[in-house]
Amino acid sequence: MEEAHRSRYVDLVRLLVRHGRSDLLAGAGTDEFLTEDAEPVVDEEGPQRLAEDLERMGPTYVKLGQLLSTRVDLLPAPYTEALSRLQDDVEPFPVEQVREIIETELGAPLRSLFSEFDDTPLAAASLAQVHRAVTRNGHDVVVKVQRPGVRERVRDDMEVLADLAAKADRHTEVGRRYGMGTLLAHFRRALADELDYRREAANLVRFGELTKHYEHLVVPQPVGDLSTSKVLTMDRVIGRSVTDVGPLGLLDVDRRPLVEELFSAYLRMILVDGALHADPHPGNVLLTDDGRLALIDFGMVATVPRRVQDKIVKLLLALSDGDGEEAALVLAEMGHPLAGYDAARFRDDVSHLVSSAVALGGEVEVGSVLVELSRLSGDRGLRPPAEMSMVGKTLLNLDQVTRHLDPGFDPTQAIRDDIEEILRSGLSVSLSGALSSAIEAKDFAAQLPRRANRIMDALSEGELAIRVKTMDEVRFLGALQRLANRLTMGVIIASIVVGAALMMQVQTRSTILGYPAIAMVFFLLAALAGGALVASIVIGDRRAQQAARRDRQP
């Protein structure tokens, strides 16, 4: 094993032992990497120490922690809260490398691409850093440049994680229960997408289209000619994080339209368009100088399948009505039951949780309730789909933004106001889907009279026959009888051989080749019977195969 890989194994094993997850290592063949200095942390400081350890281990583990912060069904609340606050600020890499990467990727000198380029980065993270620039036509932009060597580092880290996840799935109960390999595959896809800035540029365009009808929302758009897989140039948005703006700064802002449009836009994107901005924490929502909300950082985007969209709509309706029984039923349909799942207890717990939330009246936060329902599902042995937890985490982050902007905003009332439009939009179909359905309906209508006449004619003449394809009982019983005969014959032959062997010890006057004659006779009978049995098996199986081939022929 290479020294670099071994070092990463040691770091990862130390992390697991340190935070009480040595059960993932038991029997997984990693004993040689166990370290004596990995002392477990106490519970009170565990979540924050885990976040700090992940930050020290590099970009792959920072992103893994951010993804795990959305899986509230897998980790306790203190851990998801600590991981959601992971900081990704690192020392910037030299501007000479920045310029070299830009010029190599875009194929031109920096001075011919930008009229201005600020060497001091606006932000520096473990995957990239951002610089302010002005294009040759005077457009104010920011340039996101991928950190050199980060793809190779991530690839090596993923190999170590994949190896450990495979061992955990094969050899540990925890691995099999949570499906570490599946979780890691999901993380690998998300991280690979985030490292390809062409995907982020496409995400910016897509979400710009989804929010273009909301006058108070803005998504910065990419500059296609100045963007590649490692360089992303996009509009510069001047503003501050919503939560950094104090009460005095919000006095001159008409906040209610901002909150209503933000909440409505996200509901529609998730429940109608199936697009989920997987990282809408308050730092990625900016209040611009002209009084709008800018949505930034679309590196992590997930797709919500139609089946999950429909279930979440039903769940939100149940929550707005305070119907705990219906909420439990929807969650049971969405989730995958594990060993120990108790449906009755789960239904009672969900009903109690929903009733408690409704009792708060206007203070109900939909995101918080969805997160608690996801966590309750995981605790009770009902694994919800990953998209369910991510939707809950997204709405929880939105709750923080809306509560800061407008404490009087009621998310449940907003859901009731928007649900009619959401349902109407969800029932619409695409043009291609409508055309396909129309063609199928035309074919059905054209062939129906002819098929109906054939059925009626056969029925009137007493020739209607219904053929049901099922198991051939006669052939099945025949096969069982042949199997029983072969077993019986084998037992008899074995008995003859054993008896003949015992009679070899009996002294008799009649001998064959110096052995008792009766024993030799029985050995001969056993040999003949064995040969006949083998011939019967070969011939019978050959005939059965030929018959099966004839049956398959039209």
- The catalytic residues are 279
- Dist CA 220 CA 199 (whole Å): 15
Tokens coding 477: 């019983």
Q: What is residue 429's three-state secondary structure?
A: coil
CA distances to 271, 306, 375 from 383, rounded to whole Å, are 21, 19, 9
Given a contact cutoff of 8 angstroms between Cβ atoms, the answer to whether 265 and 210 are in contact is yes
> Within 10 Å of residue 460's Cβ, how many Cβ atoms?
9
- The answer to whether 107 and 123 have CB atoms below 8 angstroms apart is no
Residue 462 Ramachandran class (φ > 0 left, ψ -120 to 50 alpha, else beta): left
- Please choose, from the candidates 359, 372, 361, 368, the residue with its C-alpha nearest in 3D space to the C-alpha of residue 400: 368
Give 495-514 as a DSSP string: HHHHHHHHHTTS--S-EETT
C-alpha distance from residue 85 to each of 53, 239, 372 (Å)? 13, 21, 19
Instruction: Mark 441-452 as b/e (b = at least 16 C-beta within 10 Å).
Output: eeeeeeeeeeee
Sign of CA dihedral 273, 279, 281, 287: negative
Q: Do 313 and 270 form a contact (C-beta atoms < 8 A)?
A: no
C-alpha to C-alpha distance for 153 and 506, rounded to whole angstroms: 80
Rounded-to-integer distance, Cα 297 and Cα 283, Å: 10
Give SS3 for 158: helix
Give yes or no for a contact between 253 and 312, defined as CB atoms under 8 angstroms apart.
no
